[in-house]
Structure 1
Amino acid sequence: MKIRKAKKKDVPFIVAMLANDPLGQKREDFQTPLPQQYIDAFENIDNNPNQELMVIESNDRQVIGTLQLSFIQYLTYQGGIRAQIEAVRVHEDFRGKGIGKLLFEWAIQRAKEKGSHVVQLTTDKQRPDALRFYENLGFKASHEGMKLHLH
């Protein structure tokens, strides 16, 4: 298996994974051809040095997982860098095989390399399996998160 930076050709596979769960079905628009807003978003992410959209390939080069790692610098923590993990998905045929753990090990190591002092993520309360997975990796529910949806 290989973890690498996502390419434009990977975007349909990534969006298919994002759309392949009850929550994703409500917010994604996976179709062929893929709507242009996904390609535009990919290009913005790809051109931003503080964003890393990653995929993991199987040995036969099939995209089987993804995550996005964002580096956010701020003034607190003496100008610290926070690494934010988002949009973690593993293809349904490969779940339970350690793929997610490999992605997280990579992301945590990458955060250290970039000088981050914390790695954070959010998970929807409707995903208890994901919450247990993150806790088993050492993440702690240390804060109460809030969102204000604008659309």
Structure 2
Amino acid sequence: MEFKFTILDKTDILKVVPLVEKLDNFKVTKEVLSERFLEMIQQNYECAVILSQNEIIGVCGLWFCTRHYAGKSVEVDHVYIEDAYRGKGVGKQFFKWIYDYAINKGCSTIELNTYVSNYPSHKFYYNEGFEILGYHFLKKF
């Protein structure tokens, strides 16, 4: 099976909402997710997708910034690949594409957060050479 990795056109951003909904980390409604993605796409955010026969089967947000400790960086966000495509090397191919894309944009580092209980992602990211450097804290107002 062939896959295409690409940056989603900003006008198509709402096409990823059904996949991100499946992450279900904060139980955010589809309406709120849609509003937030429409706002995010106006910021330093791009959305990478995996296409299989023109259907989106994977998604990954990319936040670009310059960090005082890392230089120009990309932060990977809300990575999701449909269940039927997991364990087949698609994630590895996707991340290779993401690394190349970020390097071409001048990035020298890549960062991400993953949930403590998401053990399969920990193994994947360790195998990709990521290291744990700290804790992610969140406070809602």
Normalising by the residue count of structure 2, what TM-score does the alignment of the two structures yield?
0.83
Cα offsets for 1:38-93 (capped at 9, x unmatched): 33333333333x311111100x211100001111114445xx21211111000112
Greater CA radius of gyration, 1 or 2? 1
Equivalent in the alignment of 2:27: 27
Q: Which runs of 5+ in 1 are unaligned?
A: none
SS of residue paired to 2:114: coil
Task: Indicate if the aligned counterparts of 1:52 and 1:68 stay in contact, CA closer than 8 A.
Answer: yes
1:94 pairs with 2:85: yes
> Distance between the aligned counterparts of 2:26 and 2:45, measured in 1?
25
2:139 equivalent in structure 1: 149
2:113 pairs with 105, 108, 122, which one? 122
> In the alignment, which of 38, 41, 47 is matched to residue 36 of structure 2?
41
Residue 18 of structure 1: how far off its partner (Å): 2.2
Distance in 2, matches of 1:120 and 1:74, equals: 11
**Using the alignment, how far apart are the partners of 1:46 and 1:146 within structure 2?**
23
The CA distance in 1 between the partners of 2:68 and 2:131, in whole Å, is 23
Aligned equivalents of 1:93 and 1:102: distance in 2? 16
> In proportion to residue count, which structure has more strand?
2
Q: Which blocks of at least 5 consecutive residues in structure 2 are unaligned?
A: none
Q: Does the residue aligned with 1:148 lie in a helix, a strand or coil?
A: coil
Extract structure 1 runs of 4+ deviating beyond 4 A: 7-10
Are the equivalent residues in 1 in contact too, given 2:61–2:78 (CA < 8 A)?
Answer: yes
1:73 and 2:66 are equivalent in the alignment: yes
Structure 1's 140 and 64: CA in aligned 2 closer, same or farther, altered over 3 A?
Answer: same
Question: Given that residues 68 and 86 in structure 1 are in contact (C-alpha distance below 8 angstroms), is that contact kept between their aligned partners in structure 2?
Answer: yes
Computed over aligned residues only, the root mean square deviation of the Cα atoms, in angstroms, reads 2.1
Closer, same or farther in 2 for the Cα pair 1:55/1:86, shift >3 Å? Answer: same
Number of residues paired by the alignment? 138
Between structures 1 and 2, the one with greater helix share: 1
Cα drift, residue 117 of structure 1: 2.0
Give distance in 2, aligned partners of 1:27 and 1:123. 16
Which whole-Å CA distance do the structure 1 matches of 2:25 and 2:118 have between them? 14
The structure-2 alpha-carbon separation of the partners of 1:19 and 1:46, relative to structure 1 and needing over 3 Å to count, comes to: closer
Percent sequence identity over matched residues?
24
